[in-house]
Structure 1
Amino acid sequence: MPIITLTTDFGTKDHFVGAVKGSIYSELKEVRIVDISHEITPFSVTETAYILKNAYKNFPPGTIHIVGVDSEISVENRPIAIEMDEQFFICGDNGILSMITNEINPDKIVEITIQEPEDDKLTILGMFIKVACHIARGGTLEVIGKRIETIKKIYEIQPQVNTEKNQLVGSIIYIDNFGNAISNISKAAFHNIGKGRSFEIIARNYKFVKIYDKYNDIVDFDIPLEKRQDDGKKLAIFNCANYLEISIYRSNLKTVGGASNLLGLDYRDNITIRFI
């Protein structure tokens, strides 16, 4: 049974997600629909890129991913379908796939040329649904579009190297549910550029000289539990996606707070690593 995933900025209050799923089932009854996220910050291509990159690789070959973020058709945002890493992606050509295509070359890219149904009430996603169901039935990309060679990239996803100052300058690309501030600096980039040197990480007015392997590495377990005061401590860590993250230990945005509000870190804020 084919799998179709949905990643949107629709939220769950309105009818849109349910309507999309209903349209898919009307086209193709034998299908499994998986929600990756519907809580993307509206129109945030960078946030979508991070979430999609870290979710898709857990799905089996042949999975079809519909991405409904900043997907309205315009002369600057054409609808595309891509076959890549044994999976399919249907989205607007707005850079959403940059984090994947920076590491993996697409096998096939097409600009979707089929017409959007005139009576469709789901705007651009009506076209995406038609394409996804076509692929799920075993159809080829050439039938629904014309081959193209390149797609747009968003360059803010890549950190910048300043060799004169021995710096790696990145930025925050995502704030997660715990308030953790996740940067675009990968573990691989850190090691390739740092080459084992000492370092300091600067995030606004805060400095970090150590990157932890696990969140609870900040805890001294030799101290009796009733005397520990670790909750609320700030730390730097490479998260499960291997990106540098500024965190608050046991953060909770409703109680203790998270790095985003306690440290004043927000989307696009700079994270600088100085190598010594």
Structure 2
Amino acid sequence: MHDMILPDPRGGIRTRMDEYGAMAIATLLTDFGLDDYYVAAVKGVILSRAPEATLVDVSHQVPPGDVETALFLLRAAAPCFPPGTVHLAVVDPGVGSDRRLLAVAAAAAVFVAPDNGLLTPWLERGEVYAVDRPDLYRRSPGRTFDGRDRFAPVVAALLAGCRPAELGPRVDDAIRCALPPPRRRDGVLSGRVVHVDRYGNVVTDLPASWLGGGPFRAEVAGHAATVRVGCYAELGEGEAGVLTGSLGTLELSLRGASLAARWGVERGDAVRIVLESDHGSDILRHEDPPGAEE
């Protein structure tokens, strides 16, 4: 993810959003689903206060309370948006509690979410603020819908030109998700499943560059694939294989069916790839990122 963080003569840092004036685009990512009125209510509050805003749905089908899935989806989608975008992520098992609301200015954008680890990838990339603006919040008879009553007004304020630093104090103790890094040692790549898409493709956290060009055996959930292809169509009907996904990591796919369903793969499952070529292993060793080796 590419950061565009610039010095601010007024103090602290500023992001490229300042060069574009008031922000105009907000993305929405929740676990609300589409059966209830929740998504519409959040959008209604934002548009009531920032009527010129463009709202883009990332997803509202995150499994309830699944912070890690929300993190993955936001991390995948956010780099595609223009500078100055506000990203709202409400996957909030602690709704109504004393957990904080965060606004993180990073990567030429602002990310708004509960303090539960969802914003882990951006906490080291910019400035983190604990939102404390009760003057912005909606009055509500209860504390069961902070997405509408607190998060949405904060997003609207940002869209209307409020600076992140005006939302509350800067903090350095935000909660982080403990995400184990992929590893490789002695010709074995060890990672995990970070996402299963709607087609049943299995997305791993293993960088595609680690695979090299030699033979291999990719193992997950008691099954294995040994074929590498450039795209899904290169697989034979019913054949499983490994390919480089759109995020630059390795994916496992099954032609004509859901590999996840057929093999019983779930997010979080361990992935193991055994490299059967010394040449491939030599290539990999030269590309190791920090912390990737055991």
Q: Report percent identity of matched pairs.
A: 25
Residue matched to 1:183: 204
Indicate conservation of the 8 Å contact 1:157/1:184, yes or no: no
- Matched AA of 1:267: R
Quote the offset at 1:198 in angstroms: 4.7
- Decide which of 233, 236, 242 is 2:239's aligned counterpart: 233
Q: Secondary structure at the match of 1:156?
A: coil
Q: Which runs of 5+ in 1 are unaligned?
A: 219-229, 252-257
Indicate conservation of the 8 Å contact 1:70/1:92, yes or no: yes
Residue matched to 1:247: 253
- Matched AA of 1:117: R
Is residue 204 of structure 1 aligned with residue 204 of structure 2? Answer: no
- Decide which of 24, 27, 34 is 1:5's aligned counterpart: 27
Q: Secondary structure at the match of 1:11?
A: coil
- TM-score (structure 1 length as normaliser): 0.82
- TM-score (structure 2 length as normaliser): 0.77
Quote the offset at 1:36 in angstroms: 0.9
Indicate conservation of the 8 Å contact 1:73/1:92, yes or no: no
Q: Distance in 2 between matches of 1:196 and 1:73?
A: 52
Quote the offset at 1:210 in angstroms: 3.6
Q: Which runs of 5+ in 2 are unaligned?
A: 1-22, 277-294
Quote the offset at 1:214 in angstroms: 1.2
Residue matched to 1:260: 260
Residues 63-105 of structure 1 deviation map (CA, whole Å, 9 limit, x = unaligned): 1011011262545x4210011110110001222233x338xx4
Indicate conservation of the 8 Å contact 1:94/1:152, yes or no: yes
Is residue 107 of structure 1 aligned with residue 113 of structure 2? Answer: no
Q: Secondary structure at the match of 2:129?
A: strand
Residues 175-229 of structure 1 deviation map (CA, whole Å, 9 limit, x = unaligned): 11101121222325x25xxx666532111222223432211222xxxxxxxxxxx
- Matched AA of 1:200: R
Q: Say how many residue pairs are matched.
A: 249
Residue matched to 1:146: 169
Q: Distance in 2 between matches of 1:243 and 1:21?
A: 33
Indicate conservation of the 8 Å contact 1:73/1:79, yes or no: no
Residues 9-32 of structure 1 deviation map (CA, whole Å, 9 limit, x = unaligned): 111111111111111111111111
Q: Distance in 2 between matches of 1:93 and 1:166?
A: 38
1:18-57 counterparts in 2 under 5 A?
18-57=40-79
Q: Which of structure 1's runs of 4+ aligned residues deviate more than 6 A?
A: none
Indicate conservation of the 8 Å contact 2:50/2:157, yes or no: no
Q: Distance in 2 between matches of 1:157 and 1:43?
A: 20
Q: Secondary structure at the match of 1:25?
A: helix
Quote the offset at 1:145 in angstroms: 1.1
Quote the offset at 1:129 in angstroms: 1.4
